[in-house]
Amino acid sequence: MVNEVVLVVEDEDQARELLTEILTFEGFKALGFRNGAEALTYLETAPKPPSLVVLDILMPVMNGRQLRAEMLKKKELAEIPVIVITALDPAEARDLKPVRVIPKPINIDALVNAVRTVC
């Protein structure tokens, strides 16, 4: 579990920084990305796929839905579990095929528990 790589894809700077900090505090290797495109570049070039992607939906450049669609096109990326965090209605996250949807404002205990279950 410790040092499992978790990507945090969230455009809101403060939220992203806090999330990575909390997940780091909880023992994960959390990496933050500002949008889907940045995360996709990492995913396509990383030597080892991460254990989990924590993904916001509404983001500029490439949103969460588009990133997920890209991930689902490639077998090795399609297998990475995704937890969606969103200020939208949780029902709108279903098509992203997440293992869990956590509504904003994020209940951090629920998120950490969900991350632990996956990693």
Partner 1 sequence: MDSGPVLVDANPAGLRLVGLTTVAGVPLASLVENPATELESLFRIWSESPFPLPGRLAWKTGAATVPLELEAWCAAPAADAQAGVVIIRCKSLAENQRVESLRREVQARKQGEAELTDAVKARDEFIAIAAHELRNPLNVFHLSLQLLYRRFGKVEGIRDILNRSQFQLNRLNMLVERLLDVSRIRSGKYELHRETFDLNDLVQEVGLRFVEQYPNLKIELQTDGAVTGTWDRGRIDQAITNLLSNAVKYGQNKPIKVAVTTIRDEAVVSVTDQGIGLAPNDITRIFEQFERAAPNANNDGFGLGLWITRQIAQAHGGSVSAEGELGRGATFILRLPIDGQRSLEER
User: Among 52, 55, 77, 106, which residue interacts with partner 1 (rule: CB under 8 A)?
Assistant: 106
- Distances in Å between the Cα of 108 and the Cα atoms of 58, 77, 91 are 20, 26, 20
Q: Are 93 and 67 in contact (CB under 8 A)?
A: no
Stretch that binds partner 1, among 20-28, 35-43, 46-54, 76-84 (CB under 8 A): 20-28
Count of residues of this chain found to bind partner 1 when the rule CB under 8 A is applied = 19
User: Among 5, 15, 31, 72, which residue interacts with partner 1 (rule: CB under 8 A)?
Assistant: 15
Q: Return the beta strands (E) in the chain as ranges.
A: 5-9, 29-33, 52-56, 82-86, 100-103
Show Cβ contacts of residue 45 under 8 Å, excluding neighbours closer than 6 positions: none
What gap in Å lies between CA 6 and CA 25, rounded to an integer? 13
Q: Taking CB under 8 A as the rule, does residue 99 contact partner 1?
A: no
Subset of 27-86 contacting partner 1 (CB under 8 A) = none
- For partner 1, give the closer residue by CB, 46 or 87: 87
CB of 79 to partner 1, least distance (A): 25
Peptide bond into 90 cis (omega under 30): no
Show Cβ contacts of residue 41 under 8 Å, excluding neighbours closer than 6 positions: none
- For partner 1, give the closer residue by CB, 35 or 43: 35
Q: Taking CB under 8 A as the rule, does residue 87 contact partner 1?
A: yes
Which positions touch partner 1 (CB under 8 A)?
Answer: 12, 14-15, 18-19, 21-22, 25-26, 87-91, 104-108
